[in-house]
Structure 1
Amino acid sequence: MPQLRKCTLQKCCYCISLYCGSILISFYTILSGLLNAATLTDELIFRKNSSTDVWIKWFNICHVCLMIAAAVLLLVAVMTKHILSLLIWMGLFAVHIFAYYIAFHAMVNVRSPFFGDALSGSIYVGVILLTLGIDIFCMIVVYSRYNELKNPHDFMPKCVDK
């Protein structure tokens, strides 16, 4: 399937195998879930001092649980070479991307009182775009690993003798 090779990577970051890259992505997912748990704590402290939406706490709790479950699922899927689990992780990660970048950042944090000047808003948008780019790259790497497991003959190196 040559058209699949156009959409996939041969290596993660040009030097790491897709297997190791997928393991690193699972650790990145765990780390981002734990960082979201830390922001949940900040949100609860902020809520005592200012008013905010009630559903933000439950959104963050569900998001942290989704990220940790997705990370564990990806780690198990990579270690056992279970193709269906990689598809489930991609679905969970797509839900994360939609929920976190659209629902949370676009709807909730626009009203944040920390945007007093243009510089803080620009830094915030820059960081969000950077993490969105990293998340999309993670999806591409795991999709490449999925294609590598599903079609191993397409990812074998070409024979030198031919």
Structure 2
Amino acid sequence: MPHRRKCTLGKCCFCISLYCGSILIAFYTIMSGLLNAATLADDIIFRKNLSSDNWVKWFNIGHVCLMIAAAVILLVAVMTNHILSIQIWMGLFVVHIIGYYIAYHAVINVRNPFFSSALSTVLYVLVILLTLAIDIYSLIVVYSRYNQLKNPQDYMPKCVDRT
């Protein structure tokens, strides 16, 4: 299908196979989940005055669990070439993108005291846009790996006999 090839990548970062790129994305997902867990623990343990709502902690705990579960699912799916697990990861990752970037950053962090100056606000927005771009690229790479597993005939080199 020519339309399917337009929506996918041939390699991750122009030099790594989609298999290795998907494994790197699984480790990126684990690391970002652990980083979110560390910041959550810092907020819960060391902050005496809570400036955010109580449900924000539960949202963060759910988000951390979602990220780590999704990373483990992706790692197992890529190692075993299990197509359904890759679809599950893509669904969980879309939930992460919607929940984290819309619900958390757009709704909750608007009241953040970090926005005291224009420079800090610009830096915060730039970091969020950078991580959003990395997450969308990760989703495209894993979708390309999924498409490669589902339709291997479309990814065979032209010199290979297809009979």
Matched-pair identity in %: 76
Partner of 1:25: 25
Q: RMSD value over aligned CA atoms?
A: 1.4
The answer on 1:102 being equivalent to 2:105 is no
Alignment of 1:1-162 (within 5 A): 1-45=1-45, 47-159=47-159
Q: State TM-score, norm by structure 1.
A: 0.96
Distance in 2 (alpha carbons) for counterparts of 1:110 and 1:39: 18
Q: State TM-score, norm by structure 2.
A: 0.95
Post-superposition offset of 1:69: 0.3
Q: How many residues align?
A: 161
Extract unaligned runs of 5+ from structure 1: none
Structure 1 residues 128, 46: CA separation in 2 closer, same or farther (over 3 Å shift)? farther
Mean alpha-carbon deviation: is it higher for 38-47 or for 85-94?
Answer: 38-47
Post-superposition offset of 1:98: 0.3
Extract unaligned runs of 5+ from structure 2: none
1:94-149 superposed Cα distances (whole Å, 9 cap, x missing partner)? 00000000000011111001111000000000000000000000000000000000
Post-superposition offset of 1:48: 1.8
1:28-71 superposed Cα distances (whole Å, 9 cap, x missing partner)? 00000001001102322565224320001100100000000000
- Residue identity in the other structure for 1:155: Y
